[in-house]
Amino acid sequence: MHVDLDYFYAQCEENRKPDIRGKPVVVCVYSGRTEESGVVSTSNYLARKYGVKAGIPIARAKKLLESASPVLLPMDHSYYEQVSERIMEIVRGQGDAFEKVGIDEAYIEISTRANSKFDQAEDIAIEVKRQILTEEQITCTIGIAPNKLVAKIASDERKPDGLMIVRPEEVNSFLGQLPVSRIPGVGKKVEDKLNQMHVQTIAELSAVSPAILVENFGTSLGSYLFRAGRGKDDEPVKEREQPTQLSRIATLKRNTRDLPEILPLLNDLASGVTIKLNKKGMTCGSVAIIAILNDLSIHTKSKTLDQPTADEKTIVKATHDLMKEFLDSMPAAMVRRIGFKVSTLSKPTGQTDISSFLKV
């Protein structure tokens, strides 16, 4: 079962400000430069009807909604986290296993509880929806399927406040006519490349040989696309005991490509993330910078470290190198926002077996 909370941030705001219900509600990430600078984080469905979507500039959202009396609010992440934690406890209590994959979505394994019967699974889903709505006044959409991949696609198909069940014998017919972009992880670049291969639907993807997919997309992504095209996914629902990455992002005082102007903010971001890393007793195997330019295009540059570390000097030096390489590679780039990320996180365990370095 995949549980997805509908337009979560905006719905939280509607709950604590009931008078804004029925109006276009937009939750924004303000940069602090000017009254309108920043981007849209999310919006309710009424605002989306006007073309407002995540990632567009706040000024653009205001223009799209100028005739609709919109409500624009700053993001209050700590409040949303509190609501999310209460909801996730409700969801967790209904499953044999629980996996939170974001502040507004989670999977639960219900095979045992439902005796592998989809009618009983539907009853569980209805109860989950009822409890969340009664206790937190939040609607959600639920997808039920034989695996996580199809359950996720099913919930996306029924938003908002929906419930969709895809039984094993229905998987191929359900997926078949959907565009390949509906597969989780298939972004614009992968979709465009598949379209160039005359693959537009999931049914068409299922007819492509694994060798061709691996040749075009590499072993990992090619294998994933091959299985996804057939609705196959054997990844279990499991608790995520530790983060897979840590990141921070901030806005520069002005658009610039001046390295001495960028580095102090980047140092602060790297230092803050490294402190978190050490508090968790973890090391990172790679670092990355994220640059958002004045045209709002997003660019990343990453580096795999010689060995996992939590040493701030090592991490900061790698970050400086990446920033310089990025600016050198894009001589016209003007940076608006800068971010820093560490990934391939692990907890040191002492002796390391060679098998831990091998991908099976």
The SS3 of residue 168 is helix
Domain co-membership, 188 together with 202: yes
DSSP code for 57: B
Q: Write out the H or E segment, with its range, that includes residue 105.
A: strand 105-109
The β-bridge relationship of strands 283-293 and 298-309 is antiparallel
Answer yes or no: is 315 within a domain.
yes
Answer yes or no: is 358 within a domain.
no
Amino acid at position 127, single letter: E
Domain co-membership, 48 together with 112: no
Query: Does 160 sit behind a cis peptide bond, omega within 30 degrees of 0 on the bond before it?
Result: yes
Into how many domains does the chain fold? 4
Which positions are catalytic?
105
Q: Give the CATH number for residue 88.
A: 3.30.70.270
DSSP code for 159: -
Dist CA 67 CA 70 (whole Å): 8
CB-based contacts of 269, cutoff 8 Å, min separation 6: 248, 249, 250, 338, 339, 340
Q: What is the pLDDT of residues 28-74, one digit of tens each?
A: 988 777 777 889 999 999 999 999 999 999 999 999 999 999 999 99
pLDDT of 296 above 80: no
pLDDT of 279 above 90: no
Distances (CA, A) of 278 to 74, 243, 274: 30, 13, 6
Q: What is the mean pLDDT of residues 157-170?
A: 96
Tokens, residue 308: 């996992």
Answer yes or no: is 100 within a domain.
yes
Write down the residue that tokens 């294998």 correspond to.
223
Answer yes or no: is 233 within a domain.
no
DSSP code for 321: H
Distance linking the first and last C-alpha atoms of the chain: 27
Distances (CA, A) of 30 to 40, 75, 335: 8, 8, 17
Answer yes or no: is 263 within a domain.
yes
Tokens, residue 106: 């989670």
CB-hemisphere CA count at 13 Å for 143? 26
Q: Give the CATH number for residue 39.
A: 3.40.1170.60
Q: Pick the range with the lowest mean pLDDT from 44-53, 55-64, 224-233, 248-257.
A: 248-257
Answer yes or no: is 235 within a domain.
no
Domain co-membership, 153 together with 185: no
Query: Tell me, what's the pLDDT at 301?
Result: 92
Q: Give the CATH number for residue 211.
A: 1.10.150.20
Model confidence, pTM: 0.69
Dist CA 88 CA 57 (whole Å): 31
- By residue range, what is the domain housing residue 199? 180-228
Dist CA 294 CA 254 (whole Å): 10
Answer yes or no: is 355 within a domain.
no
| Of the candidates 224, 264, 227, 265, the residue with the CA atom closest to the CA atom of residue 248 | 265
